[in-house]
């Protein structure tokens, strides 16, 4: 039996006692002001690297993360959630003899870092039991004094709770003025993630990331109580911005329209299943991009590293698809980008210290590259002629190990500056889908089913009545190759999700996807209603 | 091995934390955990982790106003700051007419959910388990992924009314996904329990996943439509966890649930499932072993939701119970569905033509009221003909009402504890039988393996 944690703590605590620092000394709050590097935390990370080297690490990185989440939720005219959650800790990752180890703790002390480093090294030793494994970390341009912060105009944590509650109360009241709208719920979630990172590759980086997410849903119930329909504000995306995003979302200003649409959905015509031309708004298409392009182009999935949970990829093996797979028409261009202003996966450096990158995933309809970390870059370097990581390493917080996560991945606008009206005018028999709804996709990102928030029939170049229970089904290659009309820059919007789940233990990440409005020819539509 | 906070130390810490709250009523909820894992993929261990954390949620209550702050540091400075943050929040919190004062000390059931074996499962033992799987799979020319997950947790609740609750438990799981090199076959097996020694041993688990993978090659097309299905216990567990949200009495009474009675009230007392099925929660059940109290210190006791197909109870919050004039019933304590005997093989022999399903994936709600869900089969889907498994079929998309499904039961086996989460990690205890369900609706055939 290996040395257990309790025994290890016992053995090392005496030796470490002389180094003890009271945690609160390291956690003095003024050190966390936006844009300010925390010297104490940087020193702790550098100490952790020394401890890792002493434990035998050939490579090591250390991250101190302080993550604060504040949520305010109002149902009807009552505050239903009001919470403030903060978590801070340090995680140390080591690479020894081709095996990784990772240990983390909420105790931000030097003695704890010594223990974590040794404990991670012990794991690395145990993890060699499945045989030798070569790990080559791609080259890196080290950043010895990096600093980055989200482009925040109004710090959401500086806005009084009372102001947030009043905003949500007003939005709910506005929705509930609509006859038939029975339940209104709205929320503001704000998150701040401060990360101090150091690696034996020579990087020392402090980053301050914000996310804000205003949201709302309105439920209408039929007069006889036999049916209800909900309209959620999925076109209001979570963003890597400050409170100014909450104000711009204007929940109160949209509440009436959403409530009216929820009511209208109850009496809307059930969709007749069949083939239709689909006009998808960015608020719907972002999720389809996420699932059908974002997921399959993760290299770990393609090579079976996520077979146990998140799944594999139809886009494999790499040697058969890079530069060869026809994802869609020639005007289909998809870009991965961790530098896009206000997007959720935008950052200065990834969790291996790699500078944020922007690169094509699909160029002129052809798949050209995957998403990679430093370890993964070498796996396909012969195919891409690139040993450098695309900077996709990410860990949810201090207590999770970094691994490959999705960057912002966006469909680039078309060459012609079409807007929604142009696509509608050019469509004789179609369905327009707005907002993200229930969906399901297989674990290889191939066969799917996507719903929306609201859908309309498009007939002879004009929007006809609302439809309900609409979902489009298909498979990824056929779907994207049916793209035949693309909006221009004026129709481009960012959508996003804060709940992309992957890995074991499962980690959640946030990612944005931009797109213009787009039309797809002859897509199969089904009716998802209970009687269908 | 975890060095979890002792009961005496937890009392002292909770007392210090409560002293930082200036409000008239306060609660502290503390979760101290040591969580470790080892993950294998592509026939090698690719990562592992060991995390120690203590999260503490302070809740303040002034009259009908309430707010919470969570921190994970326990020094005086952090507690003082948390107290100040809490004061600011609770002052701004509007009145909540449904807020009740903190509970006084109840009596809790004694639940022995802590296993020394699980607690001592170190990096070496986890790597041994993963290596067993990898070596067996590689020996069979297959590719394995495996995940060993283990935690030791101390849960503590204390409040200003004098309540104190403390419970230590462990939990482990081991899941194996084995694929063919060509990517044309995939199999899965999983096991979980509070006690690692009561789980399926790694070599037997590996054999099970490998056998399933070998059977899964050469999957044939079948037409979408209504089929009799034999759901393995894991597949039943994947669906049954979704049932939890339907157990809320308030949603039923307010007309928002499948258990709402047309015209008002709930369906308590009505037949809602096959008469052989009984569904209950019980923290002290030897297969469940869940904490005997909730996050607010409410005692969790045995609750029989469905008995012989009849809806007997729903979950009542303290507020809703007071309004309804009944005792509160927390929705906690795991889920156990029983009603039959026999293993999967014996049920196979009872099926003339049907589909055997190992597990589900990406289950999504289509219609909450009818409990209509869609999702996909994964890692082993087979055709049964004349009481025999005759070959693999492609994965299928289903669209099915859970409520309807429990009323179309043709066969029930013995219940066992399953890894019910799609992620293959740790989760609330779920104990379920294999079920034969007729007229289970498949809407599409998938190419994904």
Residue A387, domain member (yes or no): yes
* Chain segment B254-312, per-residue pLDDT in tens: 888 889 998 889 999 999 999 999 999 999 999 999 999 999 999 999 999 999 999 99
Q: Is residue B12 over pLDDT 70?
A: yes
Same domain, A263 and A286: no
What is the spatial distance between Cα A196 and Cα A182, in angstroms, rounded to a whole number?
47
Best of B39, B74, B123 to mutate (most A CBs within 10 Å, chain A): B123
Residue A68, domain member (yes or no): yes
B85 falls in which pLDDT band (50, 70, 90)? confident
The reported pLDDT for the residue numbered A8 is 37
Same domain, A242 and A291: no
Is the pTM here over 0.90, yes or no?
A: yes
Same domain, A365 and A309: yes
User: Closest to A123 (Cβ–Cβ): which among B48, B54, B370?
Assistant: B48
The reported pLDDT for the residue numbered A46 is 97
Give the whole-number percent of chain B exceeding pLDDT 90: 84
Domain boundary among A240, A267, A294: A267
- How many contacts (CB atoms, under 8 Å) link A and B? 273
Chain B residue numbers touching A78 (CB-CB < 8 A): 94, 96-98
Same domain, A285 and A414: yes
A13 touching B (Cβ < 8 Å):
no
Residue A87, domain member (yes or no): yes
In sequence order, the β-bridge partners of residue A355 are A349
Chain B residue numbers touching A221 (CB-CB < 8 A): 255
Chain B residue numbers touching A79 (CB-CB < 8 A): 93-94, 96
Same domain, A348 and A323: yes
A530 touching B (Cβ < 8 Å):
yes
Residue A46, domain member (yes or no): yes
Q: Are B45 and A130 in contact (CB under 8 A)?
A: yes
What does DSSP say about strands A518-527 and A470-475: parallel, antiparallel, or unpaired?
antiparallel
Chain A residue numbers touching B2 (CB-CB < 8 A): 5-6
Same domain, A252 and A348: no
Q: Are B248 and B294 in contact (CB under 8 A)?
A: no
Burial A281-312 (b: 16+ CB within 10 A, else e): bbbbbbbbbbbbbbbbbbbbbbbbbbbbbbbb
- In order of their start, the domains of chain B are 7-213 (3.30.2290.10), 218-449 (no CATH)
Same domain, A407 and A441: yes
B182 falls in which pLDDT band (50, 70, 90)? very high
Residue A513, domain member (yes or no): yes
The reported pLDDT for the residue numbered B75 is 87
Tokens standing for residue A279: 């006009």
Same domain, A248 and A339: no
Domain boundary among A228, A251, A267: A267
Q: Are B150 and B36 in contact (CB under 8 A)?
A: yes
Same domain, A262 and A349: no
Burial B140-149 (b: 16+ CB within 10 A, else e): bebbbbbbbb
Residue A532, domain member (yes or no): no
Residue A341, domain member (yes or no): yes
Q: Pick from A71, A104, A97, A266: which is nearest to A186 by CA? A: A71
Q: Considering only B34-48, B225-239, B364-378, which range has the smallest mean pLDDT?
A: B364-378
Q: What is the ipTM score, two decimals?
A: 0.94
Number of domains comprising chain A: 2
The reported pLDDT for the residue numbered A531 is 61
Whether the link from the prior residue into A505 is cis, omega within 30° of 0, is: yes
User: Closest to A29 (Cβ–Cβ): which among B69, B81, B424?
Assistant: B81
**Around Cβ A526, how many Cβ atoms within 10 Å?**
19
What is the spatial distance between Cα A519 and Cα A486, in angstroms, rounded to a whole number?
6
The reported pLDDT for the residue numbered B50 is 98
B98 touching A (Cβ < 8 Å):
yes
Tokens standing for residue B406: 């429990």
What is the spatial distance between Cα A470 and Cα A528, in angstroms, rounded to a whole number?
6
Give the residue with greater pLDDT, B292 vs B94: B292
A83 touching B (Cβ < 8 Å):
yes
Same domain, A317 and A245: no
Chain A residue numbers touching B256 (CB-CB < 8 A): 228
Chain B residue numbers touching A295 (CB-CB < 8 A): none
The reported pLDDT for the residue numbered A529 is 81
Range of the domain at A178: 5-267
Residue A319, domain member (yes or no): yes
Same domain, A499 and A372: yes
Report residues of chain A scoring pLDDT below 50: 1-37
The reported pLDDT for the residue numbered B96 is 83
Query: Chain B window 336-375: which residues touch A at a Cβ cutoff of 8 Å?
Result: 361-367, 369-370, 372, 374-375
Domain boundary among A207, A235, A267: A267
CA B357 to chain CA mean position, Å:
19
- CA torsion angle B255 B258 B264 B269 (round to 10): -150
Same domain, A357 and A250: no
């Amino acid at each position: 039996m290996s040395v257990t944690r309790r025994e290890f703590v016992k053995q090392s605590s005496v030796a470490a006692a002389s180094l003890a620092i009271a945690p609160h000394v390291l956690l003095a709050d003024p050190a966390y002001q936006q844009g300010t590097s925390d010297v104490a935390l940087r020193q702790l990370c550098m100490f952790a690297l020394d401890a890792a080297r002493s434990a035998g690490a050939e490579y090591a990185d250390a991250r101190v993360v302080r993550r604060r989440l504040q949520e305010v939720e109002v149902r009807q005219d009552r505050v239903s959630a009001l919470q403030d959650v903060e978590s801070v800790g340090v995680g140390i990752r080591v690479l020894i003899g081709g095996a990784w180890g990772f240990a983390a703790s909420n105790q931000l002390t030097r003695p704890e870092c010594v223990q974590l480093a040794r404990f991670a090294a012990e794991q690395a030793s145990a993890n060699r039991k499945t045989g030798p494994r070569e790990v080559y970390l791609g080259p890196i341009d080290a950043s010895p004094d990096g600093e980055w912060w989200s482009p925040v105009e109004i710090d959401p944590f500086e806005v009084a709770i009372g102001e947030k509650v009043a905003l949500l109360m007003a939005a709910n009241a506005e929705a509930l003025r609509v006859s038939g709208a029975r339940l209104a719920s709205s929320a503001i979630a704000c998150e701040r993630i401060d990360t101090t990172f150091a690696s034996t590759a020579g990087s020392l980086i402090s980053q301050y990331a914000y996310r804000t997410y205003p949201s709302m849903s309105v439920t209408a119930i039929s007069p006889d109580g036999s049916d209800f329909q909900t309209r959620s504000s999925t076109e209001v995306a979570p963003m890597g911005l400050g409170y100014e995003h909450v104000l711009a979302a204007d929940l109160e200003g949209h509440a009436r329209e959403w409530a009216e649409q929820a009511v209208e959905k109850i009496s809307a015509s059930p969709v007749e299943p069949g083939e239709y031309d689909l006009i998808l708004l960015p608020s719907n298409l972002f999720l389809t991009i996420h699932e059908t392009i974002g997921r399959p182009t993760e290299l770990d999935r393609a090579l079976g590293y996520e077979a146990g949970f998140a799944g594999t990829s139809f886009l494999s093996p790499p040697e058969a698809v890079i530069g060869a797979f026809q994802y869609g028409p020639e005007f289909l261009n998809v870009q991965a980008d961790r530098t896009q202003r206000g997007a959720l996966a935008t950052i200065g450096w990834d969790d291996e210290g790699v500078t944020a990158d922007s690169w094509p995933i699909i160029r002129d309809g052809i798949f050209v590259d995957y998403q990679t970390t430093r370890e993964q870059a070498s796996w396909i370097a012969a195919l891409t002629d690139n040993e450098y990581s695309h900077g996709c390493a990410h860990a949810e917080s201090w207590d999770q190990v970094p691994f490959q996560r999705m960057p912002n991945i966006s469909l680039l606008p078309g060459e012609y500056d079409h807007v929604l009206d142009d696509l509608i005018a050019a469509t004789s028999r179609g369905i327009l889908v707005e907002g993200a709804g229930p969906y399901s996709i297989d674990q290889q990102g191939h066969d799917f089913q996507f719903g929306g928030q609201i859908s309309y029939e498009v007939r002879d170049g004009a929007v006809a009545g609302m439809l309900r229970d609409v979902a489009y089904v298909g498979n990824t290659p056929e779907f994207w190759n049916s793209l035949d009309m693309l909006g221009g820059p004026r129709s481009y919007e960012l959508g996003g999700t804060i709940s992309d789940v992957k890995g074991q233990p499962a980690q959640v990440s946030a990612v944005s996807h931009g797109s213009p409005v787009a039309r797809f020819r002859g897509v199969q539509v089904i009716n998802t209603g209970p009687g269908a | 091995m975890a060095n979890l906070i002792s009961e005496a130390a937890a009392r002292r810490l909770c007392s210090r934390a409560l002293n930082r709250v200036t409000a008239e009523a306060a609660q502290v909820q503390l979760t101290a955990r040591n969580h470790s894992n080892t993950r294998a993929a592509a026939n090698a261990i690719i990562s592992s982790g060991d995390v120690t954390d203590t999260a503490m949620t302070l809740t303040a209550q002034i009259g009908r106003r309430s707010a919470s702050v969570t921190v994970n540091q326990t020094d005086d400075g952090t507690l003082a700051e948390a107290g100040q943050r809490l004061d600011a929040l609770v002052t701004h919190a509007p009145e909540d007419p449904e807020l009740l004062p903190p509970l006084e000390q109840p009596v809790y059931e004694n639940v022995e959910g802590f296993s020394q074996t699980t607690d001592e499962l170190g990096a070496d033992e986890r790597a041994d388990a993963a290596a067993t799987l990898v070596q067996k799979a590689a020996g069979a020319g297959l590719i394995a992924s495996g995940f060993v997950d283990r935690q030791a947790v101390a849960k503590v609740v204390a409040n200003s009314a004098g309540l104190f609750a403390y419970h230590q438990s462990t939990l482990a799981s081991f899941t194996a996904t084995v694929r063919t090199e060509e990517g044309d076959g995939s199999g899965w097996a999983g096991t979980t329990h509070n006690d690692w020694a009561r789980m399926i041993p790694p070599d037997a688990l590996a054999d099970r996943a490998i056998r399933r993978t070998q059977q899964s090659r050469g999957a044939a097309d079948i037409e979408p439509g209504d089929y009799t299905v034999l759901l393995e216990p894991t597949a039943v567990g994947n669906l049954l966890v979704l049932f939890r949200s339907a157990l809320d009495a308030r949603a039923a009474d307010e007309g928002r649930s499948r258990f709402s009675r047309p015209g008002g009230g709930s369906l308590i007392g009505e037949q809602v499932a096959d008469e052989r099925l009984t569904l209950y929660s019980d923290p002290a059940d030897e297969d469940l072993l869940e904490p005997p109290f909730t996050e607010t210190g409410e005692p969790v006791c045995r609750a029989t939701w469905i008995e012989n197909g009849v809806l007997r109870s729903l979950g009542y919050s303290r507020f809703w119970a007071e309004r309804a004039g009944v005792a509160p019933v927390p929705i906690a304590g795991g889920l156990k569905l029983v009603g039959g005997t026999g293993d999967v093989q014996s049920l196979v022999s009872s099926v003339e033509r049907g589909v055997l399903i190992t597990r589900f994936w990406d289950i999504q709600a289509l219609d909450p009221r009818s409990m209509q869900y869609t999702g996909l089969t994964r890692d082993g889907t087979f055709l049964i003909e004349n009481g025999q498994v005759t070959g693999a079929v492609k994965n299928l998309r289903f669209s099915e009402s859970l409520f309807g499904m429990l009323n179309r039961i043709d066969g029930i086996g013995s219940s066992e504890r399953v890894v019910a989460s799609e992620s293959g990690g740790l989760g609330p205890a779920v104990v379920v039988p294999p079920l034969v369900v007729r007229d289970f609706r498949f809407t599409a055939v998938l190419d994904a393996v």
